Amino acid sequence: MGRIRILPETVANKIAAGEVVERPSSVVKELLENSLDAGASHIRLEVAAGGKQKIHAVDDGCGMGRDDALLAFERHATSKLRSAEDLLSISTMGFRGEALPSLGAVSRLTMETRSQQETSGTRLEIAGGRMLSVQEAGLPAGTAITVSDLFYNIPARRKFLRTEATELSHITSVVTHYSLAYPEIAFQLRTLSGELVNTPAVDSLRERVFQLFGEELLEQLVQFGPLAAESFSPFPNSGEAQIKKLENKEPPSELQSMRLSGFLSRPQIQKLNRNSIYTFVNRRLIRDRVLLHAIQEAYHNILPRHSFPVALLFLEMPYEEVDVNVHPSKVEVRFRHQALVHNLVRDALRECLTAAKPVSTFPAGASQAPEPPRGPSHSEQVRDAVPVAAAGFYLTQPELPPQAQAFRFEPGPAAAEPRMEGSAACSVAPIPEGPSANVPPAAFGSELAELRPLGQIQESFIVAASPSGLWLIDQHVAHERVLFEKFLTQRESGTVECQRLLMPYVLRLNAAQQAVWDRIHSELESAGFEVEPFGQNTVAVKAAPGGVKADDVEKLLLELVESIEEERRAFSPEVVRHKIAASVACHAAIKVNMPLEQRKMEWLLSELAATQFPMSCPHGRPVVLKYGMREILKAFHRI
């Protein structure tokens, strides 16, 4: 007899479950997706012990008749797909017919369901893949599924589950995501000890963001869209010229109906990782490297390296343009026009950020001492926390209660000890207030232009007033931004001013530096540096861009070469160009600890107002902090 056998159905289902069900949150994901596909308008979830003990999901969707209820637990049984062609344009969340049999195989599962058309419903029980009972029952229309004792029959899997708190945070995150994607549907998530999500149906994504995260986060975000792919306008010929539209301008007709909308964070929000970036394609939550990269590129020169924004990105595109059948749990997708989608998204987001010119805001309540860190969870919070640039705050993403606090601001240790370092550091509880998300760019630009400089603090920060509040401007980074954009514009038009050095500088390079040098040499020449080989691993610098002091030239070039060498990857000419521009701007800019006359301050502020990104320097640090009128009035107890 041969050695090969077909595996029994129960074993095959357990294997499939290994791919589909990783942890309690995957159960929640599959149940939510089924309820959404069933057209539910209200979805309620209850979980016990982080979902390890019990997950109970109730919806008011279409429900199932008895035959369908039984069939649903057969492998590859689905009502959502009929032929192989259907796979090419999937409009439902599910389509593989694997979730229910997988769940039934690795838990004790009860399903109660009644279709809208029938008068009585069906209750069935399954454990470890075996149907235990099927009964007729009087039930409300819709479906209720209870998954208990997940992995009770696969101890090896059960052992891998994390603490209840961790599993619960994953569940909350999944519910939060789907709640974001479907504002018109009501979601509830409860544990035995309380409610974690409760979002009644609303009309807009903005209201849903408010329900989930509150006003504070909403004020830190800039809303955009919906934008249509065909209307993404080309970038103005500016300093940010590397972000140009594709050469062939128009997206292909299939992609013209692509729509983009969502929220982007202002530059003062800086996250250590990508966990606060949510991308949805046709309302399906996905993790996709192409989109993540596009978002990161949109923030290039706005956020420092290794910092990430908060972003909610919703992409709508023809179903045929995106293959969702590349991963068993359907979290990865493949775009048919990958590069094009990438560039359209990057350009559109960049344009939104430019238009909104989001400014960093002063934290308010300056008189309140921040509370010291409390409780055992704090170390966890700090682990994920990042100091918000220049504000001395920590932005945290604590695990519990996860949804409610996912984006809460917490004063961290840096806030407890006020200090001045680099740019401003404020030691106060942040209640941010900024120009509302919809401030027209022109209005913000002119607001900056009308700033009245009052003086300097420590000959480093300009204090200025406008009708809308009090402003602090870091003079060095402000000038850096101005010079950076100016330099790039000159570089584009080949008009970089160049100054001859009295004495050529001889620069010694080691082998690795020489290799970098060879790569950036021609770009350096175009940027106003005149350099010639001068023997083995040595170059002579004869001229440098205007504004850079002769004494600084050597340092500038070595820093540049080192920073490129450090990153150990290939850069496009545009990136090299930007790095050079940032270095030149940094070395030529007004320094801190330098007294400025009134006229000079006025000049600097008006130059800054005319830039494209007045809010952050080329390295991503904030340039301007604002203490809004509302916060001033609040602090004086006038409102």
Sites of contact with ligand ADP (CB under 6 A): 30, 34-35, 38, 59, 61-64, 72, 77-80, 94-100, 143
Instruction: Report in angstroms how near the CB of residue 34 gets to ligand ADP at its nearest.
Output: 3
Q: What's the one-letter identity of residue 102?
A: S
> SS3 for 492?
helix
Nearest-approach distance from CB 155 to ligand ADP, in angstroms: 25
Closest residue by beta carbon to Mg ion: 94
Which CB atom, from 58 or from 353, has the smaller least distance to Mg ion?
A: 58
Cβ-closest residue to ligand ADP? 94
Nearest-CA neighbor of 340 among 250, 227, 210?
250
Which one, 77 or 165, has the nearer CB to ligand ADP?
Answer: 77
Q: Are 288 and 278 in contact (CB under 8 A)?
A: no
Nearest to 42 by CA among 161, 198, 154, 220: 198
Strands 624-628 and 538-545: unpaired
**Between residues 72 and 617, which has the closer beta carbon with respect to ligand ADP?**
72
SS3 at position 391:
coil
With CB cut-offs between 5 and 8 Å by kind, which of Mg ion, ligand ADP, none does residue 35 bind? Answer: ligand ADP
Q: Which amino acid is at 576?
A: V
CA 453/CA 191 separation, integer angstroms: 54
Give me the least distance between CB of 169 and ligand ADP, in Å please: 24
CB atoms closer than 10 angstroms to residue 131: 12
Q: Would you say 43 or 548 has its CB closer to ligand ADP?
A: 43
Tell me which residue of 79, 73, 111, 71 sits closest to 95, measured CA to CA: 79
3-state SS, one letter per residue, for 399-451: CCCHHHHCCCEECCHHHHCCCCECECCCCCCCCCCCCCCCCCHHHHHHHHHCC
What residues contact 506, with CB distance under 8 A and at least 6 apart?
534, 538, 539, 540, 541
Least Cβ distance, residue 174 to ligand ADP (angstroms): 15
Q: Which does 434 bind (CB under 5 to 8 A by kind): Mg ion, ligand ADP, none?
A: none
Name the binder of 64 from Mg ion, ligand ADP, none, CB < 5-8 A by kind.
ligand ADP
Q: Is 77 or 228 the residue whose CB approaches ligand ADP more closely?
A: 77
> How far is residue 12's CA from residue 2's CA, in Å, rounded to a whole number?
20
* Closer residue to ligand ADP, CB minimum distance, 99 or 105: 99
Nearer CB in complex with ligand ADP: 79/238 = 79
Q: How far is the CB of 113 from Mg ion (least distance, A)?
A: 14
**Which residues are at the interface with Mg ion (CB under 5 A)?**
34, 94, 99
Q: Which does 59 bind (CB under 5 to 8 A by kind): ligand ADP, Mg ion, none?
A: ligand ADP
Nearer residue to ligand ADP within complex by CB, 31 or 353: 31
Could you say which of ligand ADP, Mg ion, none residue 95 binds, taking C-beta under 5 to 8 angstroms by partner kind? ligand ADP
According to DSSP, the residues that pair with 628 across neighbouring strands are: 469
Give the nearest distance from C-beta 104 to ligand ADP in angstroms.
Answer: 9
Give the nearer residue to ligand ADP in terms of CB position, either 68 or 219. Answer: 68
Separation CA 424–CA 18 (nearest Å): 51
Residue 531 main-chain phi, psi, to 5 deg: -130, 145
Closest CB 157 distance from ligand ADP, rounded Å: 19
Q: Pinpoint the alpha helices (H) of 99-242.
A: 99-105, 155-159, 164-181, 205-220
Residue 484, contacted partner among Mg ion, ligand ADP, none, CB below 5-8 A by kind: none
Separation between Cα atoms, residue 404 and residue 259, nearest integer Å? 29
The entry of Mg ion, ligand ADP, none near residue 513 (CB within 5 to 8 angstroms by kind) is: none
107 interacts with, out of Mg ion, ligand ADP, none, CB within 5 to 8 A per kind: none
* Residue 306: CB minimum distance to Mg ion, A: 37
> What is the rounded CA–CA span in Å between residue 498 and residue 418?
42
**Min separation Cβ 167 and ligand ADP, Å:** 21
Peptide bond just before 226 cis, omega within 30 deg: yes
CB of 61 to ligand ADP, least distance (A): 5
Nearest CB to ligand ADP, comparing residues 101 and 545:
101
Provide Rg for the chain, Cα atoms.
Answer: 29
Residue 271 near which of Mg ion, ligand ADP, none (CB within 5-8 Å, type-dependent): none
